[in-house]
Amino acid sequence: MSPLKALRRWFVDPQFSKKKQFLHSLELFSDLNGGEMGELVHSLHARTYRPGEVVFVEGDIGRALFILESGKVELTRRGADGKPVLLYTLKPGEFFGEMALLESLPRSATATAVEASRLHLLYRTKLDAMLSSHPRIGVTIMAHLARLLSARLRRATGELSAAPATNA
Amino acid sequence: MPNHRRALPSLSAFVVAGACLYGAYLVRAALTPFVLAAAFAYVLNPLIVYFEARGLKRAHLVLAGYLAAGLLGYATYAGVKTIVVEQVTDLANDAPAYAKQIQKLVAAQQVKLTHALPLPPKVAEHALDSMVGTGLERVQALPTELLGLLPLLAHALLVPFIGFFFLLDGPDGFEHLIQTIPSRFVEQAIHLMGEIDTALGNYLRGILIVAAAITIVSFVGLLLLGVDNAFAIAALSGVSSFVPYMGAVVGILVGGGMAWYQFGTLWGAVKVALLFVGIRVADEALLQPVIARHSVHLHPMVFLLALILGGEIFGFLGLVFAIPAACILKALIQVGWSWYASETGLASAYGSAAEAVPYT
């Protein structure tokens, strides 16, 4: 091994590369280049949740997006009888709570770690800061969120218009 | 009922925070190097983060940074050693002559003023004697006051040493904190830290840029004007600029006094004063718009109050850290208000006429 390569190996952080690789595999960040991904890694906070630990509760004011790196998280909503109704179970590589990046409004569901789960948090003020300091990163994330919102709205509109036909 | 339960932890948090602050005030002398080291590490951290974002290990970066800084510092010292040593020696040798010259000048001005004042000569002489006496007392007390700052110089080695460990740990402390606190408060903790970081970071990095710019520009300016002890005056002015507006004042007083003594005419002092006024104007016109763009804007009254309180309670260091402390306080209030507004529904949701148009 050349001395330059050995020096580079001594300096390079393998954990950081792993984190970057994981984030790059997500659709939300897939358009970012290496340097931008490095900046993004530094804007995220990581936390491990124990099984049964609540990430946030329905009605809490949302301020961050959560990315599931490992483990399993359940999204539930209170039903008419007050009992929790399971909406979705998240797998590693999926994200939730993304609407908090657009508006500070109450969460529409409760998120609970089903097993030991490692989550990355992207806080709204960090995204705002990136929009001015690294506009391309901020704009890329915002564009993905806009596409996601549009797809959901399109699906909801489709379901609504399909509903009377089904009833009839 | 739930509201009472929520209010209780907040109240106890305030009591604990107050007790911690009072405890810190009591042991402030011991905490000084740690506070300075934390500020030192905080200011340097973006440089480490810049390289860390390129995939390099923090510990190795800090080590390499310290080695590079040591070598650079030594090279700079070796380069300007002759100038600095010469100027310090000259200053030490000439100090008694400066004192005598100042006394002579004051005495000459006193005689002139005694005749010029529209008062009986005895009364004017008495009034001026008491004024000059007070002024000279302040001048005589100056060395003692400056000696009082010497313990700060003793921290010159301690601060980078402690700062090394702060830099090594980096954001780990905060990551541990968010791992420890109850999960429902994680978002609030990150919000609070983000606001404080934005306010404090911009301010601290801003004043460092200003201090460096003032030191370099005034050093070059004083050299061009041929004023003795240019380095000492420039360094003093640069360090003083950590206290808002003090850099120019100290530069005019010390540099102007030096030029007046050296050239024997007021014109020399006026040129130095014009130099520092020019630097101040350039700072306001060129640097401040860039620095202040993202920083926390404090009302002038709050600014002044913070400086007075900081100076009164903690002395010189209080003056330096008064504005950052006010920035933290402002961030705390802003975050507190933002939580209160969103929890109570005071902050309204986004809504516009465009919402009524069907999805197409």
Q: A104 vs B195: CB contact, 8 Å cut-off?
A: no
Residue A70's nearest CA partner among A118, A18, A121 is: A118
Angstrom distance (rounded) from CA B107 to CA B55: 67
A41/B178 Cβ within 8 A: no
pLDDT-wise least confident of B186-190, B257-261, B293-297, B320-324: B293-297
Residue A86 in domain: yes
CA distance B9 to B14: 9
B171 by DSSP, 3-state: which? coil
A7 occurs within a structural domain: no
Has residue A2 been placed in a domain?
no
Domain that holds residue A71: 18-163
Overall number of domains in chain A: 1
Nearest residue of chain A to residue B57 (CA atoms): A13
User: Looking at residues B42-59, what average pLDDT do you find?
Assistant: 87
The pLDDT > 70 percentage for chain B reads: 78
According to DSSP, residue A86 is labeled E
Whether B57 contacts chain A with CB within 8 A: yes
**B53 vs A42, A63, A154: nearest CB:** A42
pLDDT digit string, tens, across residues B323-336: 888 888 888 888 88
Closest listed residue to residue A145, CA positions, set A94, A92, A101 = A101
Residue with tokens 């050239």: B263
Q: Is the pLDDT of residue B342 over 90?
A: no
Average pLDDT over residues B2-7: 46
The answer to whether the Cβ–Cβ distance between B53 and A10 falls below 8 Å is no
The band of A168, judged by pLDDT with boundaries at 50, 70 and 90, is: very low
CA-only gyration radius of chain A, Å: 19
pLDDT of residue B348: 56
**Domain presence at residue A11:** no
Helices (runs of H) and strands (runs of E) counted in chain B: 13, 0
Mean pLDDT of B181-209: 81
Higher pLDDT, B59 or A7: B59
Q: Do B194 and A60 touch (CB under 8 A)?
A: no
Whether pLDDT at B133 is above 70: no
pLDDT at residue B71 greater than cutoff 70: yes
Which string of b and e fits B124-151 if b means at least 16 CB within 10 Å? Answer: bbeebeeebeeeeeeeeeeeeeeeeeee
User: Band of the pLDDT at B221, cuts 50, 70, 90?
Assistant: very high
**Residue A13: predicted pLDDT:** 83
B183 neighbors A54 (Cβ within 8 angstroms): yes
Residue A12 lies in a domain: no
Across B15-19, B88-92, B296-300, B339-343, the highest mean pLDDT is recorded for B15-19
Question: Do you know the residue count of chain B?
Answer: 360
Across chain A, mean pLDDT equals 86
Residues of chain A neighbouring B168 (CB-CB closer than 8 A): none
What residue spans of chain A are helical by DSSP H?
A: 3-11, 14-24, 34-43, 124-133, 135-167
The answer on pLDDT for A89 being more than 90 is: yes
pLDDT at B56 over 50: yes
Band of the pLDDT at A90, cuts 50, 70, 90? Answer: very high
- Flag whether the ipTM exceeds 0.90: no
Give the pLDDT band (50/70/90) at residue B5: very low
State the average pLDDT over residues B215-219. Answer: 92
Partner A, chain B 164-193, Cβ-Cβ below 8 Å = 174-175, 178-179, 183-184, 186-188, 190-191
Task: Check if B339 contacts A (Cβ < 8 Å).
Answer: yes
Distance CA B179, CA A88 (A): 25
Nearest to A104 among B58, B342, B359 (CB): B342
SS3 B322: helix
Q: What is the mean pLDDT of residues A131-158?
A: 88
CATH number at residue A154: 2.60.120.10
Round to whole Å and give the CA distance between A154 and A148.
10
In a domain, A168, yes or no: no
Inside any domain, residue A9: no
The string of DSSP codes covering B200-229 is HHHHHHHHHHHHHHHHHHHHHHHHHHT-TT
